[in-house]
Every structure is written in structure tokens, then in C-alpha cells.
């Protein structure tokens, strides 16, 4: 048997009804294996931010979660327009979301900052015109 | 705890159960299985929401509650009618008919749960102002929601409102009054007239209290049927009510939250909506909300399965009734109790929140996941579990034999 659980999800673009379902599935697994509530919450917040980013900005994408006994590695990969200036995108409050999206309560410019804040490791790789891949590692306290 | 739940939530009448999968597919916590042609409940997973009772086309689900006769075992009988109870009566223009009727039915005293609701509201306001509980604060008044949080959203336990539910506050005050009249605990019987089976379990298991203040939980519909003929004989009821719009509003969804006097509140009802809101709180997307009221039943307590009337009709009737009421009829000063009188006597997260052993739970997850990959993932229900994942859990947890095979795969 493998040493970890691998999960894959398709995240649909512009679908605000299903947005968050990948996060909810991962949360359910972590809770089931007794991961501390604070850690589940950190995963929930950072992964949800990533998932909603793909819904809003990138016409969806693919999410994976690799759950180990002591950590979870989440990737969120899309083939959207890419992030031109990652440093600027990391600034709290900076957003390129449209007014329509903002009127739904999204696009506050806290997505990437929150991912960095709540995950232990946050790697953002992006090429304009090709897509973005976010890798989030969250370690579980004993 | 499981046995207490079995006795005090819902059981099955095997003679009526046809083995259809309606309840199994719709149970929000996947607590029902249909094996050997009959449905059964896994009580460790059941939150007592009553959804299966509501949905069963063959009326095979039996809710547990105390029969009205039990009041006769007590010398001094106190009735606690829930605010939703008044919504059951057609053409009721004065709640005093209900209260007087209860006395004629054999109760020595009636104490409206709406009063406890108003005192709960006032105590909640103090907590909201004190900033001691992280926002959003989540109400603990709906026992099915509390069970859901303890089973699936342990993350949110620090958000739970530590104020006693209205029925406990009412029971506590009514009991004290009876002591003053010289009755002892053994002589006093306190009975809640409940809209739902979840409250039966919560009160018998003593949520938030050291020892239950309520001796029995009666069903709204049974008391209604006995009360109707009695009420018809009343020409002029005694003026007994001491409740305002605030207390009455607790009967339907949004009433409790609106009464909290905060503008940043949210009220959700219906178990699927409740789950969705709890997921959102976990995801950190509702941080601008201060107070969250959640009701497992559609419409709130008027939607409880022990009621007789449709929740929307009951809500409309209550709207008519409220015209006669003051905004609020109770105050903390009048009662004269210290603030902690209204607070839960035990930490609200004391039961239910169990943390599994990580290594064992991780192995379990891997086994479930590995097996899940081999299944059709159609969630057809043929195997007697509501989903392919639930089938894997049953197998790994030993609820079905290790050599059980998915019927879809077995077909070849």
C-alpha cells in the first residue's frame, strides 16, 4: 500500500455553486484522521482561497491533495492567464477581480496573502499566458 | 451515549419499513443503512435531526418522547410550552387559551419557554458585548445542530454560545418557584412540550447542565390533540402569559438572531443549508458575521417533526399572534439572578468531541481510499450504504463482513 492518500479534483471555472467542494472533501479526510482543529482550519482557509482563485481568475483547473500522516501537500494548477507580478499579487488588498466578482463578496485581494499566512509552505509558480501552479504544504502538529 | 440516543431519538417499526432507500439516501450524516430489507440507524452518527421521520413514505420511523400520562407520577406538574407550539392552533387569538388549557389538562403550573428565550437573548447580548468568544458566535439552541457540530465541525467549538437553551432556563426558574411553594425535587415534574426528537435526546442527556432540569419531554402533536377539546370549553382564559414578541419569534428561523440586536447576523435553516454555513465558517469566509443562528429544520422550530402543522402555516399564524405582544416582557433585573445562572454549567464541548488516534485513523483513511478507488463511485445504494464511501467505511470499521462485495461489481 502507498504511504499516503492521493486525491484529485476538477475545479470548475466561474461556478460559484460548486466552489469549495474540493476543500470540503479534504477537510472531511483530515477531520476523520484526527488532525488538530487548528490545523484543519489552516488547510481549509488556504486551500479554499486557492480553489476560489481558480474559479474566479483562471476558468477552473485541477486540485490535488496528498495526505501523509504528518502533513498535507495541496496543489492547485490552472491554465489561466497567469500572474504577471507575483510580488504585487501577494500584497494584501491587491486584486484584479472584476466588479461582478467583487459584488459576490470575492476579490478582496486577500487570496494569496492568506495562503501564505495559513500554510507552512506556499510556492507560486506562474507564467503569463500559460497558467499558475500553487503548492501549499501544511504540517500537522502532534 | 449510543444507547441513550437509540432510546431518545428515532427507532424503526420493522413491520412498516419496506426497505426503500429514501431515508438512507437523504440522511445528512449517512447514519442509515438498509440491509436485509430493513433500514437501521447507526446511532453514533445520528444527530437526531428528524429528517428520516419527515421523509419516510411508509411512516416507519418512530420518534421517542414521553406520553402525557407520565405527568401523573408527579405531585406538582409544570408544563413548558415551546414558542412553536402556539403556531399549531387555527384561529388562536390569545396564547392564554393554550396556557389555561394546559392547566385544565392537569398541569399545576405553566412556564412559557418564550420567557427563557427572552432571558437567553439578554444573556447572549452581554456575551456579544464582552468579546470573550471568537466571532462569529454560533447558537447552541438547536440540539441537532449542536450534535452536528460536535460530530463533524469540532473546529468550531470555540465559537459555540455558552448560554443555556431557553427550555433549560425556563425549567430552572420554574423549578425554583416550585421549591418556594414547598415542593421537593421528587414531587416536582417539569415537562417540555417539544417540537422535535432532537430536544428529547438533548434534555435527557443533559446538554450543558450538570443534572437535567426537565423530567420528561412531551410531543407537541400529542399534547395538541388532548388540548384542543379542553380549550374549546374555555370562555375567558386567565391572563397568564409573560412573553413578548422576542420570545415568540424564536419559534421560527431568524427570530433568535434578530433578537440578538446585532445587525451582522445570519440565520440558516434546513440541515443542508446549515452544513453549508458551517463549512463556510471553517473556510474563514464569514468573519464579518457576529452571530449565527442555525436550525436543522426548515423554517426553524415550527418545522420540527413532532408538530402537527406545516411550518409555513405555523409561521404565518405566529405573525398574526405577535400583534398583541409587547416587544419583550422579561428582564434580567426582574429575575434577579447573577449572569452565570444563564450560562452552561458544563463546557459546551464536553461530549462528542472525540479525537481519534492519528496513526490508526490514518491507516483507516488509506484503507478506505484504496478501496474507494476500486468501486464504481455511482453511490447507487444497492449495497445498503448511502454512498460508495460509506460502504468502504462500513467495511473498514467492521459493520459489514470483510469479504462484502459491491453488488455492481458482483454483477460482472
- Separation in Å, CA of B358 to nearest CA in chain A: 5
CA distance B4 to B11: 12
CA distance B6 to A125: 53
Nearest to B200, CA basis, from B3, B6, B9, B4 = B9
Partner residue facing B358 (CB), from A20, A33, A38: A33
**A20 interaction partners in chain B (CB closer than 8 Å):** 279-280, 283
State the pLDDT at residue B354: 64
CA distance B22 to B30: 12
Residues of chain B with pLDDT under 50: 350
Q: What ranges do the domains of chain B cover?
A: 1-64, 68-342, 357-412
CATH of B357-412, one of 3.10.310.10, 2.30.110.10, 1.10.150.570, 1.10.15.40: 1.10.15.40
ipTM: 0.81
**What is the C-alpha R_g of chain A?**
15
CA B325 from chain centre, in angstroms, equals 26
Contact between residue A140 and residue B361 where contact means Cβ atoms under 8 Å apart: no
Contact between residue A129 and residue A82 where contact means Cβ atoms under 8 Å apart: yes
CA separation, residue A38 to residues A28, A138, A142, B158 (Å): 14, 11, 12, 11
Q: Quick check: do B1-64 and B357-412 share a fold? A: no
- Strands B10-12, B61-63: pairing is antiparallel
Partner residue facing A20 (CB), from B154, B283, B370: B283
Contact between residue A137 and residue A73 where contact means Cβ atoms under 8 Å apart: yes
Identify the residue among A1, A7, A33 best suited for mutation to test binding to B, counting B beta carbons within 10 A and taking the highest: A33
Q: With respect to CATH, is domain B1-64 assigned 3.30.70.20?
A: yes
Q: Examine the pLDDT at A109 and tell me if it is beyond 80.
A: no
pLDDT tens profile B150-163: 888 888 988 999 99
Which chain A residue is nearest to residue B152, measuring alpha carbons?
Answer: A31
CA distance B114 to B40: 36
Which chain A residue is nearest to residue B157, measuring alpha carbons?
Answer: A37
Answer yes or no: do A33 and B356 touch at CB < 8 A.
yes
Confidence of residue A38 (pLDDT cuts 50, 70, 90): confident
State the pLDDT at residue B368: 93
Average pLDDT over residues A49-78: 92
- Separation in Å, CA of A41 to nearest CA in chain B: 6
Partner residue facing B152 (CB), from A31, A35, A38: A31
Confidence of residue A113 (pLDDT cuts 50, 70, 90): confident
Which chain B residue is nearest to residue A106, measuring alpha carbons?
Answer: B285
State the pLDDT at residue B351: 52
Tally of domains in chain A = 1
User: Which structural domain range is residue A49 located in?
Assistant: 5-139
* pTM of the shown model: 0.89
CA separation, residue B378 to residues B369, B372, B381 (Å): 15, 11, 8
- Separation in Å, CA of B256 to nearest CA in chain A: 25
Answer yes or no: do B365 and A29 touch at CB < 8 A.
yes
- B336's CB contacts (< 8 A; 6+ apart) are none
Instruction: Classify B38 as helix, strand or coil.
Output: strand
**B285 interaction partners in chain A (CB closer than 8 Å):** 48, 105
* Phi, psi of B39, deg, nearest 5: -80, 150
Identify the residue among B280, B360, B365, B388 best suited for mutation to test binding to A, counting A beta carbons within 10 A and taking the highest: B365
The set of cell numbers assigned to B108 is 399545576
CATH code of the domain containing A11 = 3.30.565.10
pLDDT tens profile B174-215: 999 999 999 999 999 999 999 999 999 889 888 889 999 999
- Separation in Å, CA of A93 to nearest CA in chain B: 16
What is the enclosing helix (H) or strand (E) of A65? Answer: strand A60-67
Confidence of residue A1 (pLDDT cuts 50, 70, 90): low
Amino acid at each position: 500500500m502507498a504511504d499516503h492518500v492521493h486525491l484529485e479534483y476538477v475545479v470548475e471555472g466561474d461556478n460559484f455553486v460548486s466552489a469549495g467542494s474540493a476543500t470540503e472533501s479534504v477537510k472531511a479526510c483530515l477531520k476523520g484522521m484526527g488532525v488538530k482543529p487548528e490545523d484543519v482550519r489552516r488547510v481549509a482557509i488556504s486551500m479554499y482561497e486557492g480553489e476560489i482563485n481558480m474559479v474566479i481568475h483562471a476558468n477552473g483547473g485541477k486540485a490535488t491533495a496528498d495526505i501523509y500522516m504528518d502533513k498535507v501537500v495541496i496543489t492547485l494548477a490552472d491554465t489561466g492567464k497567469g500572474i504577471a507580478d507575483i510580488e504585487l499579487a501577494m500584497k494584501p488588498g491587491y486584486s484584479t477581480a472584476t466588479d461582478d466578482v467583487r459584488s459576490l463578496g470575492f476579490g478582496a485581494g486577500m487570496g494569496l496573502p492568506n495562503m501564505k499566512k495559513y500554510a507552512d509552505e506556499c510556492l507560486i509558480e506562474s507564467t503569463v499566458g500559460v497558467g499558475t501552479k500553487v503548492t501549499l504544504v501544511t504540517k500537522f502538529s502532534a | 451515549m449510543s444507547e441513550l440516543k437509540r432510546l431518545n431519538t428515532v427507532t424503526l417499526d420493522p413491520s412498516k419499513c419496506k426497505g426503500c432507500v429514501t431515508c438512507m439516501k437523504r440522511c445528512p450524516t449517512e447514519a442509515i443503512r438498509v440491509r436485509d430489507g430493513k433500514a437501521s440507524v447507526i446511532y453514533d452518527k445520528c444527530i437526531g435531526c428528524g429528517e428520516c421521520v419527515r421523509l419516510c413514505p411508509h411512516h416507519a420511523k418512530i420518534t421517542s418522547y414521553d406520553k402525557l400520562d407520565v405527568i401523573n407520577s408527579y405531585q406538582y406538574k409544570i408544563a413548558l410550552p415551546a414558542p412553536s407550539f402556539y403556531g399549531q392552533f387555527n384561529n388562536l387569538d390569545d396564547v392564554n387559551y393554550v396556557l389555561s388549557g394546559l392547566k385544565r389538562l392537569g398541569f399545576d403550573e405553566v412556564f412559557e419557554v418564550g420567557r427563557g428565550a427572552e432571558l437567553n437573548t439578554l444573556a447572549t447580548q452581554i456575551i456579544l458585548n464582552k468579546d470573550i468568544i471568537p466571532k462569529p458566535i454560533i447558537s447552541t439552541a438547536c440540539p441537532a445542530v449542536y450534535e452536528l457540530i460536535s460530530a463533524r465541525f469540532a473546529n468550531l467549538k470555540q465559537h459555540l454560545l455558552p448560554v443555556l437553551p431557553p427550555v433549560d432556563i425556563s425549567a430552572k426558574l420554574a423549578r425554583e418557584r416550585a421549591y418556594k411553594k414547598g415542593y421537593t425535587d421528587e414531587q416536582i415534574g417539569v415537562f417540555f412540550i417539544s417540537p422535535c426528537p432532537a430536544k428529547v435526546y438533548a434534555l435527557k442527556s443533559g446538554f450543558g447542565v450538570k443534572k437535567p432540569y426537565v423530567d420528561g419531554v412531551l410531543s407537541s402533536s400529542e399534547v395538541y390533540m388532548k388540548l384542543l377539546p379542553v380549550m374549546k370549553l374555555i370562555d375567558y382564559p386567565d391572563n397568564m402569559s409573560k412573553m413578548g414578541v422576542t420570545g415568540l419569534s424564536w419559534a421560527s428561523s431568524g427570530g433568535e438572531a434578530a433578537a440578538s440586536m446585532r445587525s451582522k447576523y445570519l440565520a440558516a435553516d434546513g440541515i443542508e443549508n446549515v452544513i453549508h454555513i458551517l463549512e463556510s465558517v471553517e473556510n474563514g469566509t464569514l468573519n464579518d458575521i457576529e452571530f449565527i443562528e442555525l436550525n436543522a429544520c426548515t423554517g426553524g422550530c415550527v418545522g420540527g417533526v413532532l408538530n402537527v402543522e406545516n411550518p409555513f402555516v405555523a409561521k404565518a399564524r405566529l405573525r398574526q399572534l405577535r400583534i398583541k405582544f409587547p416587544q419583550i416582557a422579561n428582564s434580567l433585573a426582574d429575575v434577579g439572578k447573577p449572569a452565570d445562572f444563564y450560562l452552561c454549567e458544563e463546557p459546551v464541548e464536553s461530549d462528542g468531541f472525540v479525537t481519534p488516534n492519528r496513526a490508526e485513523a490514518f491507516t483507516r483513511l488509506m484503507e478506505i481510499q484504496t478501496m474507494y478507488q476500486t468501486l464504481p463511485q455511482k453511490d447507487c445504494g444497492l449495497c445498503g450504504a448511502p454512498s460508495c464511501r460509506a460502504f468502504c467505511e462500513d467495511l473498514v470499521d467492521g459493520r459489514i463482513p470483510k469479504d462484502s462485495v459491491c453488488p455492481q461489481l458482483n454483477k460482472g
